[in-house]
Amino acid sequence: MKKVNNIAVLTSGGDAPGMNAAIRAVVRTGIYHQLNVFGVMYGYKGMLTGEIFPMESKSVANIIQRGGTVLKTARCKEFYEPEGRKKAYENLKKFGIDGLVVIGGDGSFKGAQKFSQEFDIPCIGLPGTIDKDIAGTDFTIGFDTAVNTAVEAIDKIRDTADAHDRLFIIEVMGRDAGYIALHSGIATGAEHILIPEHKTNIDDVIDHLTANERRSKMVNLIVVAEGDEFGGADEVARHVKDRMPQLDTRVTVLGHIQRGGSPTCLDRLVASRMGYAAVDALLNGTTNVMVGIVNNEIQFTPLDKAVKAKQQIDPEWLKIVKILAS
Segment 47-66, tens digit of pLDDT: 999 999 999 999 999 999 99
**44/51 Cα distance (integer angstroms):** 10
Q: Please report, for the chain, the start and end positions of each structural domain, with discontinuous segments joined by +.
A: 6-142+263-308, 143-259
DSSP string, 33-65: TT-EEEEETTHHHHHHHT-EEEE-GGGGTT-TT
CATH no., domain 6-142+263-308: 3.40.50.450
pLDDT surpassing 80 at residue 1 = no
Exposure of 78 in the CB half-sphere (CA atoms within 13 A): 13
Sign of the Cα pseudo-torsion (162, 166, 172, 176, in order): positive
Answer yes or no: are the C-beta atoms of 255 and 234 closer than 8 Å.
no
Arithmetic mean of pLDDT over the chain = 92
Segment 82-111, tens digit of pLDDT: 999 999 999 999 999 999 999 999 889 999
6-142+263-308 and 143-259, same CATH topology: yes
pTM of the model: 0.93
Q: Which fold has domain 143-259?
A: Rossmann fold (3.40.50)
Q: How confident is the model at residue 200 (pLDDT cuts 50, 70, 90)?
A: confident
Q: Which of 57, 66, 44, 39 is nearest to 260 (CA)?
A: 66
**195/175 Cα distance (integer angstroms):** 9
Q: Which residue has the higher pLDDT, 206 or 156?
A: 156
Is 242 among the residues known to form the active site? Answer: no
Q: Which of 131, 144, 228, 267 is catalytic?
A: 131
Q: What is the pLDDT of residue 317?
A: 86
Segment 248-281, tens digit of pLDDT: 899 999 999 999 999 999 999 999 999 999 999 9
